[in-house]
Amino acid sequence: MDYEGIRSSNCTKCKEAMILVSHKFKPPQKSDVAGWKIVKLLLDKGFRFGSVYTPLDKNILLKVTYPTTLEETKEFVKLYEPSPNAALLDNYEALKQGKFK
């Protein structure tokens, strides 16, 4: 994805700054409070729902599945939290560019 030339904009309803996420993001149902808690935690930690990879071996990256429970999410965040520079990148790109901690 091309993140050049992105402008920040605010929500027309609540005026909060909007967060650009990957097209892969699947929003929970409006009534799914637990689901939105997970989304908020992931966003707060810099995840943007792009693909997340973990190094499996030398030059081998394994694609990681996003968590579905709050417990899993806390673990996921600890393991895969992107560095600030990598927040807008798929971590695959970040790993390639050496921006992933």
- Tell me which residues touch Zn ion (CB under 5 A): 11, 13-14
Which residue's CB is nearer to Zn ion, number 15 or number 58?
Answer: 15
Within 10 A of 70 (CB to CB), how many other CB atoms are there? 13
- Residue from 26, 16, 77, 68 nearest 49 by CA: 26
Distance CA 20, CA 34 (A): 21
Write down the least CB distance from residue 10 to Zn ion, Å: 8
Which residue's CB is nearer to Zn ion, number 11 or number 60?
Answer: 11
Write down the least CB distance from residue 26 to Zn ion, Å: 19
Q: Shortest Cβ contact with Zn ion: which residue?
A: 11
